Amino acid sequence: MPNECYYFRFGLFVTGEGEEEHLPKLFSALSQSGICSFNVKRRIPQLRPITSKQRKARMVRTGQIIPDKNFNSIAVPARRYLQADKCNRVILIDDLEWSDKWEPQQMFERYRSVLDAGLSATLKHKASVHFLVIMLEAYFFAHPDALNHALNLAPPVAQHDGDVETIRNPKSRLRQLFPDYNERDHAGLILDRLDLDIVLSNPECCSSLRTCVKWIVDQLKAYPNQETFNAFNFDERFHLQEGQLYPVTADQ
């Protein structure tokens, strides 16, 4: 059938150096299925919510908002990638980080509005925005064996008690354990060993990452051979049905 997809390509739009180098490895448990791949297509500016004052400044006499200056770096390449192949998908991923100046919902709306500005109604459902909470390094603490072996830590890091997405500054904590940590040099070594099944093994933890994985799997459910797809058992492995989801990004 001409509209069927037997192989999905997820193009990642990322904001950080470490993510640009290594983020596809985070999704290796999905790409190992052989029905999808993940590649960084573009490193984009890290955006911040627009204040009311900034929004007014962007109004012109006609009452229309001047196009966002990031339109050409985000919306246009996303549209081109999606139009290039019906089986392409776009995921925009940013570190949420911590700030008392803005809320996650504001962050989401800024990214989503810029992304959607260049997409037709038929393309919008093929693109999504997600956050690494609070940053990529948080998930390393959800699989300490990967962290310990990659960096040869002594004494080894113990299993984190609680949700790693609540760690205020994972990168700082990691550098306390390994002062020479560099996200471009070392994140890939850890991600080579990181097991997504372990990271998402607790249905009450890592809701933001699980929400991203669920969006990916929901796209993959269009795979024509349902018997093959069901054999991967994604929903059960990652607790996608009963596990906690991140309300800010879940409705996409």
- Cα distances from 93 to residues 55, 98, 185, in angstroms, run 24, 16, 20
pLDDT in tens, 206-229: 999 999 999 999 999 999 999 999
Q: What is the pTM of this model?
A: 0.93
Alpha helices in the chain (DSSP H): 17-22, 28-31, 52-57, 76-84, 104-116, 121-124, 144-151, 170-177, 183-191, 196-199, 207-220, 226-231, 234-237, 247-250
What integer is the mean pLDDT of 104-109?
94
Predicted local confidence at residue 58, as pLDDT: 44
pLDDT at 237 over 50: yes
Mean predicted lDDT score pLDDT of the chain: 92
User: What span, in angstroms and rounded, lies between the C-alpha atoms of 12 and 213?
Assistant: 13
pLDDT in tens, 24-37: 999 999 999 999 99
Task: Tokens for 169, please give them.
Answer: 């500054």
- On the question of a cis peptide bond just before residue 45, with omega within 30 degrees of 0, the verdict is no
- On the question of a cis peptide bond just before residue 190, with omega within 30 degrees of 0, the verdict is no
Task: Report the range of poorest mean pLDDT among 20-29, 64-73, 93-102.
Answer: 64-73
DSSP, collapsed to helix, strand or coil, labels residue 84 as helix
User: What span, in angstroms and rounded, lies between the C-alpha atoms of 41 and 70?
Assistant: 16
Q: Name the residue with higher pLDDT: 66 or 21.
A: 21
Q: How confident is the model at residue 52 (pLDDT cuts 50, 70, 90)?
A: very low
- Cα distances from 239 to residues 141, 155, 197, 223, 236, in angstroms, run 19, 32, 9, 20, 5
Predicted local confidence at residue 82, as pLDDT: 98
